[in-house]
Amino acid sequence: MNSVTQNSIESSIAPKSARSEPSQNLEAGALTADLALAALKDRNLSPEVIEQVNKNVAVMKARKVRVALAAHPRTPRRIALRLIRELYTFDLMQFALLPAVAADLKRVADEMLLGRLASITLGERIALARRSSGSVAAALLLDREPRVWQTALENPRLAEAGVVKALLRPSALPVFVKAVCHHARWSVRSEIRMALLRNEYTPLAQALEFARRLPPAQLRDLLHSSRLPEKIKTYLRKDLQMRK
């Protein structure tokens, strides 16, 4: 790295009062991962400095630098996308959770994580279920391993819409459906109760409980498209008649 570039990076991380006189402590070519990370904290870092960090092979070996550079608002999209594709699984997860990352780049990171779910280990899926974004946690609700979807149900970022979507998928496991029926957080949500009334694995006792909380007209419409067994739907319709 030439002295002009080095001075640019030093200037970007120096206090405002000292930026007119960049530090001369570092010699040309002495850029380190720590110096790059410090520079990347500046949201107004110049494109030239970003390009120079990106071209420094030694510095770019540091995983934290790759994540920070991909997340920087001044990083060109072509560079950010390349870096995202190269991130390790848990670096991808952390990247998608960074508040400053653009929404479209977060979606790219989540899509890449979703594409890796079939190839990563059980332990990695459990860790993702616990700490990942809501969209990844929602996908893990359909995992065949109970420890994964049980952990995903407790993910604080998991949204109601993700649970509803999982319940409406034909691949939802019966044991998962029954767990949602009894879940303290999710079983009280009206949209989730309606999704459960559409699922063929919802037990009669819970179906009856949820059905009695719906207006008659809404329940009739819901049962028309429900995948509940005919015996249960017949029982719910008879119970509905008895309400009159």
Per-residue pLDDT at 243: 78
Round the average pLDDT of the chain to a whole number and report it: 89
C-alpha 76/C-alpha 47 separation (Å) is 8
C-alpha 135/C-alpha 42 separation (Å) is 30
Share of the chain above pLDDT 70, in %: 88
Any idea which of 17-21, 56-60, 77-81 has the lowest mean pLDDT? 17-21
In single-letter form, the type of residue at position 105 comes to L
Closest alpha carbon to 217 in 198, 199, 243: 243
C-alpha 100/C-alpha 95 separation (Å) is 10
Per-residue pLDDT at 31: 86
Residue pLDDT, tens place only, 5-52 = 555 555 555 444 444 333 233 333 578 999 999 999 999 998 888 999
The answer for residues whose C-beta is within 8 angstroms of residue 63's C-beta and 6 or more apart is: 87, 88, 91
C-alpha 71/C-alpha 11 separation (Å) is 21
* Tokens 């390009």 -> residue: 51
pLDDT at 161 exceeding the cut of 90: yes
Closest alpha carbon to 220 in 243, 204, 189: 243
C-alpha 179/C-alpha 148 separation (Å) is 13
Q: How confident is the model at residue 155 (pLDDT cuts 50, 70, 90)?
A: very high
Q: How confident is the model at residue 57 (pLDDT cuts 50, 70, 90)?
A: very high
Answer for the pair 199, 228: CB distance below 8 angstroms, yes or no: yes
Higher pLDDT, 30 or 3: 30
Whether pTM exceeds 0.75: yes
Tell me the mean pLDDT in the region 185-211.
97
Share of the chain above pLDDT 90, in %: 83
The answer for residues whose C-beta is within 8 angstroms of residue 207's C-beta and 6 or more apart is: 196, 197, 228, 232, 236
Closest alpha carbon to 13 in 210, 26, 230, 183: 26
